[in-house]
Amino acid sequence: MPTVDVPHDGDGVRATWLGHSTVLLEMGGLRILTDPLLRRRVGALRRRRDLPVPPHVPEVDVVLLSHLHHDHADLPSLRRLGHVPVVTDPVNTPWLARQGLGTAEAVIDEWLAVGAGVEVLLVRADHDARPMPHRPNGATGMLLRGGGVVVWFAGDTSLHADMRLLPQLAGAPVDLALLPIGGWGPRLSPGHMGPVEAAEAAGRADAHHVLAIHYGTLHPAGWPTGRLDWTTVPGRRFLEVLPARSQATPHVVPVGGAVTVRPRASAPR
């Protein structure tokens, strides 16, 4: 597995996929981690045995939490990171504070500066299936601006019309979209995107690059290890269906793989 503690040098963004919905973003001089899941198991889910668990995640500056389902907001993983500011839907913030975690007070429809070089905007995510009685159920996607690029972290969501508004909200095209293309079972529940929906989302947002996430990592405990083909099919399928729906460059990388996207001449700085 490639190391994840090599610093990114210069403008643009380096995105390293650590499995499921966990991505290390290096942009604007910051290290930003999405939906940290840094253990081999969480609840009834297990990480594929052939996939490494990150042995070392470098000190991060900010955490982005799309929602509080256990495969996205894993408390042991979050506590492993120390007292790091966590950006999430405001509905979730008081609960996180009660868990002793750092919070950043995001406000709907306002950009939040998370460092000298990066700001975050909460954007729509439709993910209200399987509500939890014991945790808040706020769900959000996020736009990030910094290092001369725009990144869209979709979180868990179904397709919706507002994806077309993302370049307008960012004030520039989406350079890199982190899009879920599957899940932790052979069938998706409502509020998720498969390969076809993710390809359509890339087209609606007019993204220039797409990193496929949220697939190929987890499976239910007890699932036969010889019957895990369904975990990798979404990656191949995404490559097949994307060209008909989007001009984006796809990046379907192995766990631990990274992609670097540099600014375009017209990108904001």
CATH of the domain at 100: 3.60.15.10
In sequence order, the 6+-apart residues with CB closer than 8 A to the CB of 68 are 88, 92, 95, 132, 135, 136, 137, 138
Domain hosting residue 36, numbered range: 13-254
Give the type of residue at 89.
D
Q: How far apart are CA 88 and CA 153, in angstroms?
A: 12
For the chain, residues with pLDDT lower than 50 are 1-7, 266-269
The CA distances from residue 144 to 42, 66, 92, 185, 230, in Å, are 28, 13, 20, 29, 32
Q: How many domains does the chain have?
A: 1
At residue 5, the pLDDT reads: 39
Residue type for position 145 = R
Q: Does residue 249 sit within a domain?
A: yes
pLDDT value of residue 265:
65
User: Rounded distance, CA 16 to CA 89, Å?
Assistant: 24
Q: So what's the pLDDT on residue 9? A: 53
Give the per-residue pLDDT at 269. 36
The answer to whether position 263 is within a domain reads no
Q: Is residue 265 part of a domain?
A: no
Q: Is residue 90 part of a domain?
A: yes
The amino acid that residue 108 corresponds to is: I
Q: Do the domain assignments include residue 71?
A: yes
- Mind giving me the DSSP string for the chain? ---S-SPP-SSSEEEEEEETTEEEEEETTEEEEES---SSEETTEEE-TTS---S-----SEEE-S--STTTS-HHHHHHT-S--EE--GGGHHHHHHTT-------TTS-EEEETTEEEEEE-----SS--SSS-----EEEEEETTEEEEE--S----GGGGGHHHHHTS--SEEEEE---SSSSPPTT---HHHHHHHHHHHT-SEEEEES-SSEEETT--TT--GGGTHHHHHHHHHGGGT--PEEE---TT-EEEEPPPTT---
Residue 261 inside a domain? The answer is no
Q: What is the pTM of this model?
A: 0.94
Residue 146: closest CA among 124, 107, 105, 115: 115
- In this structure, the chain runs to a length of 269
210 vs 4: CA distance, rounded Å: 20
Asked if residue 262 belongs to a domain, the reply is no
Tell whether 8 is covered by a domain: no
